[in-house]
Structure 1
Amino acid sequence: MSEHNHEHGPDCGCGEEEPSFIITDENGVDHEMIMVYTFESADRNYAVLLEKDEPEAEGLIFRIEEEGDDVYLVTIDDDAEWEQVVEVYNRLAEEEA
């Protein structure tokens, strides 16, 4: 079994795609999203998702929660947590630019 240590995408050449998620917005419209980045803040893990068909669109950030073998993406409703997460994500994005 081989390990992949890179971001999957149409140009990576490995033949594998990112796992996709169906996210339903506040209007009841489903969007197929791909997880493009994960990071940690205050001992919690977060995921950045982009629309599969619109990779240039603004991403969404969710908290990753685990219960046993199950993993869930959870909306961040707490304003203080959201501000902290956005600050950490922006700093990480600047470092990678």
Structure 2
Amino acid sequence: MEVGEVITLVDEEQNEFEFAVIDLLEVEGKKYAILVPAVEEDEEELEDEEEAVILRLEMDEDGNEILVDLEDEEWEMVADAWTEKMEDEGSDE
């Protein structure tokens, strides 16, 4: 998985949703993907209230990369780390 890649996620009801990978980061030895809903060129930009989706990257038994939902506490930890990373990158400019 790479930043800028668009991936398709499927929910419990088999509905497909496209998400753009906007960042990848490692927190406490685990890798995470930061995703936002993919926007078509003719659609409006994301609204401020839309949140990023954070999923943990793992490997399945066949060695394929899979995305795993997070518990609330883990989500908060990764969201804080990502916010800090964004603030650090913003201060470098």
Distance 1:22 1:90, change over 3 A: same
RMSD, aligned CA: 2.4
Aligned pair partner of 2:68 in 71, 74, 77: 74
Q: What is the match of residue 47 of structure 1?
A: 33
In the TM superposition, residue 69 of structure 1 has moved relative to its aligned partner by 2.7
Distance 1:55 1:31, change over 3 A: farther
Distance 2:73 2:7 in 1: 26
Q: Paired residues, what number?
A: 80
Gaps in structure 1 of 5+ consecutive residues: 1-6, 8-17
Scaled by the length of structure 1, the TM-score of the pair is 0.66
Structure with higher RCO (Cα < 8 A, 6+ apart): 2
Deviation string for 1:54-77 (max 9, x for gaps)?
Answer: 653432111011135300011102
Please name the residue that 2:76 is paired with.
Answer: 83
User: Which whole-Å CA distance do the structure 1 matches of 2:77 and 2:31 have between them?
Assistant: 13
- Identity across aligned pairs (percent)? 26
TM-score when normalising by structure 2: 0.68
